[in-house]
Structure 1
Amino acid sequence: MIKKHFVLLFILLSGWALSAQKMPVSYDFGEKYNDRYRYSNLMTIDEDGSGGYILVRAYYQGLILKPKGYLIEHYNSNLELVSEFNYKVKGLDFIDGFLKNGQLNLLFLNYNYDRGEYEYWVHTSPIIAFNFRTVKLLSLSSEEVNNPVDKNYFNRNFSNGFTTSILFDEDKRGFVISTHHKKGKSEKHMIHLFDTALNKKFEFDFSDEIEEKNYAFENVTFSPDLQSIYLVGKAYFKKRRFQVDERKFQYELVKISQFGSQSQSFVDPGKYPEALYPILLSDRLVCVGFYADRKDNRYNGIAYFDVNPSTLDIKSQKYNPFSQQFMDDKFGREDDKDIKNLVFKNVEVTPKEEIFFNAEEYFVTSGLEVTGAGQRVRIERYHHNDIVSVKLDPSGAMVWARNINKTEVTQGDGAYASYSSYCKDGTTYFFICTAAENPQLINNERLIFKQGLSRNRNVFLISLDTNGVMDYEKIIDQEEARLPLMVSKPLKDEKENKMLFYAKRGNKKQLVKVDFN
């Protein structure tokens, strides 16, 4: 195993003078291994409970690439590949994977044509000797539909008969399965709560609440005893007439237990919340996200709501407009200053209950492309652009908001694009993987990372300290890291202050570990 240790000397962006601040970071490269599956996607990565790691990849084969199964890789604490297991199962929609008490659990959705129903299955096996058994969690009679769990950040289709959401909390203590089925004039919306030991805690018939609105839940958190669910999402009005300046939905917080449900809407004249995320603190519940001054996806700042977790009454709320510093970061002196297409990525809460809220500018474009055979095919391109990071104090007031300019577009595996973040001692660190050698500096104030053309990738670490001061450094050079990192799918270990990345290209693979010392 090759080991490198660095003390990163960051350069203060304002003025570009050497800073006295030093951030020690070390990284380890695991050995490069041959891999027989050239085409694959990393589905999940977790710790094995003994210092090692379990990775699950879906692999594809054939002249026309089709999913053929799942390769499970087991690494020890030295990043050495201990074993592999080929789980040959196909025809199922993978939802998520998680480890619990030495058991690997793979959650799938399957359509049973013989029974005419959707089935939710967990395939579970001990990791010491893989031997999968299947557990059916629940089933629902329905005609088959396209993309029953399709995630659209800006809309949701309820007209095709069946739609479902499967949501885990941040710590993966449990998960919710939300099922909405419509047949003729009959509609049924059920909420099911499971813990990650696969015990069903309860189910709740939410159908009475959908007479006037359809609910598209986006984020969830649970009470410590897993007896209450807090769901946040869009409630789409079904029969209302709308003015031109009105949205067809509103954001709502819904609390569900086996005894009943409560809801709280977030509606203020001229304010349109978006991408709200629930955070359950010691004795209160807060929801943070973006807001707009008009009904489109162009955002003006950060919304904050302090909610009573028992009654859902709003105790306080704040709308924090983006600062001039943020606007200068993003646009410089441009006249077109629309902030749009922001998608929530993650949130961190400090022991002082300060909140760090991170998001990304994400959107999809499509176009026609001519193949080598002269055929015209439609290609979708996934754009992962600017990083938005915000710090709120415990009362919800914005301390700072910063924008990191980057442009990335991919047609394939999005794991190589986007970014990952880590918060330590009040400083937020962002990992990006780019072929660019250096960021571009515009007007001596704006730092921009542009996607390069090389197949190799440099790893940059960008930091925002407690005052929002931005620094950066290239921590891993592409000459060292010959394999690109799947930078947006890391394993975070906050107890040990480290992150684990999977690196792969073609028939080569390895693990890379980064330690915050």
Structure 2
Amino acid sequence: MKNFFVIFFGLLSFSLFAQNVPIKTHKSTLFEDDFKKSILVLGEKTQENEIILVRSYKASAISPLNGFYIEKYDANLKLVKEFELKMKHPLSEKNNLVLGVFYANKKVNIIEIYFDLKEKTYICRNNIVDDNFNLTTKELFRITKEKMKELGSFNLQQKFFEAGNKNLPDVNSGNFNTSTDRFLSFSLFGNSTKPRVYSSDISIVINENRTSYSIILDYKNAEQEGFLLYLFNAESEQLFFKEELIQSKEKNYILQNFQVSEDGKSVYILAKNYNNKVKKLKYSFELSQISASETKIKTIEIEDKFIKSLKLNFYNNSIYCIGFYSEKSYEDNDGLCFFKFNKANLESEKVKFSKFTNQFIQDKFGKETDKDIKDLKIKTILFENDAIILNAEEEYEYTNNSPNSNGAVTYVFNDIVSVKLNTDGDLIWSRNINKKQSYTYSDDSYISYFSTIKNGSSYVFINASEKIKELKNERVEFKDVNPNKANLYLLTIDSSGNFTYQLLLNEDQIEVPFSVSKGILIDNSCYFMGRKGKKKQLLKVTL
């Protein structure tokens, strides 16, 4: 599968310091794969203190996902064992879509759904690779074509082709494809903002203990909407199945994200609920706890605020729903909204709305201003010692409809937002990191960022140009990067909200550029994949 280069000066390790915190980096030897592009999708530590890494690869541009490299490494990134899983299907099995990849009970689980032409049925199955790299498969559920038509607008073929331009979803996030409520269209006749039309979706999430996972298929049609919910244990045995119906004439019900409880017996769902009976646009959020025996629902009233979305998280014995809010419109963001609930009975414990700090406004604009803050998408919410770090990004897309553009879509990933709260919702600090990145036809590997938390500090890794733009009032802006010269920066916001940055690796220190946005965290170490053509290398950064 890979050919290691004979001429190489050995493994490279060195240490440097950021805010008196030792940062150690370690590189593997260079290697080659049969395919040019592969992406890290999973990393776990085994009971034998080895590292399991799973990489997805594409064999061609027209196929969204073709296979996986499953590899074991020792602590020094020396390859111990490897296995290649080719996601092959007979011609009768169409549009196979991988929903997620996770590690449980010493097995790699690759969940996919496809349409069987012979049986006229949608089949969801688990491809299981055990510790000795033996492959077995297990069917999880099936839905007939007739039943799917009754449910509504679920289009597996469309999702199959859309997946060709996207990375595998994070099985820890539990997100549905409802995060972006608008996209921009640019033409000779002016620009327009269009609402995002929500279709059916399917998503998977696994609990933190790796004891249970859930798959939800969200569906819509002219008469009704609802979802199918499946809960499985770590051995892929079904614990329960529920079908929930919502009458569309009364509600417009948009699933946002979901999580599985630590004990693996319940699924918590967060949804946005528009009341279609009220002429004025009226909505609330609903938090549901669904078990085999009952369903509990808690309505989250948002007063007169505008909230585009909330993110559901567990910490200790509480549920946290956190997002951005505005006093003016859905498109703006004035600060953080915070809802805390008792996990057992869903009773409200805390509700807080906190405006962005003056420091945040100065970070972004250089002075106090009433300018709007738009298009913020939450990427991670991290908990540590009763502190909460929320990281988000200014993310949107636009279509250029001018005659020479052929309707090209540009994906924009601009400023990074980092916010620290305590578990009572008090805002401790909020910072904005200025950044400008985008891509249209080019590779997205060096766009966006990777973040983690340690000892109350927020750490952000980015690829950026060596030319950092100096802004007014002692501010800086990180810019797009040439993929062949992708410098690696570490940005740090300490426990008090002080911001620093440093160049971690420059182009002279690397043989392949490392893509940080596709990184993986194992214990206190971050793992990144570097590549240049078929030449590849792993990087381990220990905080």
SS in 2 for 1:455: helix
**1:56 paired to 2:55:** yes
Per-residue CA deviations over 1:2-26 (Å, capped at 9, x if unaligned) read: 3332332x5xxxxxxxxxx422101
CA distance in 2, matches of 1:229, 1:268: 23
Per-residue CA deviations over 1:284-311 (Å, capped at 9, x if unaligned) read: 2222221121332211111111212233
Residue aligning to 2:393: 360
Contact 1:221 / 1:279 at 8 angstroms: preserved in 2?
Answer: yes
**1:32 paired to 2:30:** yes
Count of matched residue positions in the alignment of Structure 1 and Structure 2? 488
> For residues 468 and 117 of structure 1, do their structure 2 counterparts lie closer, same or farther at Cα, with a shift above 3 Å needed?
same
Residue aligning to 2:189: none
Letter in 2 for 1:128: N
Contact 2:203 / 2:216 at 8 angstroms: preserved in 1?
Answer: yes
- Consecutive unaligned residues of structure 1, counting only runs of 5 or more, are 11-20
Residue aligning to 2:192: none
Residue aligning to 2:204: 166
CA distance in 2, matches of 1:208, 1:97: 30
Residue aligning to 2:330: 296
Per-residue CA deviations over 1:346-395 (Å, capped at 9, x if unaligned) read: 112122x121111111111223699xxxx964332221211111111232
Matches for 1:487-502 after TM superposition, within 5 Å: 487-494=516-523, 497-502=524-529
Letter in 2 for 1:426: G
Letter in 2 for 1:6: S
Q: CA deviation at 1:461?
A: 0.6
Per-residue CA deviations over 1:156-182 (Å, capped at 9, x if unaligned) read: 756x6x533323345654332222345
CA distance in 2, matches of 1:177, 1:209: 22
> For residues 376 and 328 of structure 1, do their structure 2 counterparts lie closer, same or farther at Cα, with a shift above 3 Å needed?
closer
SS in 1 for 2:227: strand
Contact 1:499 / 1:514 at 8 angstroms: preserved in 2?
Answer: yes
Contact 1:167 / 1:219 at 8 angstroms: preserved in 2?
Answer: no
> For residues 369 and 453 of structure 1, do their structure 2 counterparts lie closer, same or farther at Cα, with a shift above 3 Å needed?
farther
SS in 2 for 1:2: coil
Per-residue CA deviations over 1:454-476 (Å, capped at 9, x if unaligned) read: 62111111111111000111011
Contact 1:177 / 1:191 at 8 angstroms: preserved in 2?
Answer: yes
Per-residue CA deviations over 1:181-217 (Å, capped at 9, x if unaligned) read: 4566465532222233323222223225777334333
State the TM-score, normalized to the length of structure 1. 0.86
Q: Percent identity?
A: 26
CA distance in 2, matches of 1:39, 1:3: 24
SS in 2 for 1:490: strand
Q: CA deviation at 1:513?
A: 0.4
Aligned counterpart for 1:477 among listed residues 472, 493, 506? 506
Letter in 1 for 2:55: V
Contact 2:462 / 2:488 at 8 angstroms: preserved in 1?
Answer: yes
Aligned counterpart for 2:450 among listed residues 420, 436, 451? 420
CA distance in 1, matches of 2:220, 2:236: 27
- Bigger drift between 497-506 and 48-57 goes to 48-57
Residue aligning to 2:542: 515
State the TM-score, normalized to the length of structure 2. 0.82
Residue aligning to 1:132: 135
Letter in 2 for 1:174: S
Please report the RMSD computed on the Cα atoms of aligned residues, expressed in angstroms. 2.7
Contact 2:124 / 2:139 at 8 angstroms: preserved in 1?
Answer: yes
Aligned counterpart for 1:99 among listed residues 96, 99, 103? 103
Contact 2:218 / 2:255 at 8 angstroms: preserved in 1?
Answer: no
CA distance in 2, matches of 1:23, 1:109: 45
SS in 1 for 2:309: strand
> For residues 228 and 73 of structure 1, do their structure 2 counterparts lie closer, same or farther at Cα, with a shift above 3 Å needed?
closer
SS in 2 for 1:327: helix
Matches for 1:3-42 after TM superposition, within 5 Å: 3-8=12-17, 10=18, 21-42=19-40
> For residues 393 and 503 of structure 1, do their structure 2 counterparts lie closer, same or farther at Cα, with a shift above 3 Å needed?
same
- Consecutive unaligned residues of structure 2, counting only runs of 5 or more, are 1-9, 89-94, 163-176, 182-195
Contact 2:363 / 2:432 at 8 angstroms: preserved in 1?
Answer: yes
Residue aligning to 1:212: 250
CA distance in 2, matches of 1:350, 1:170: 15
CA distance in 1, matches of 2:269, 2:223: 26
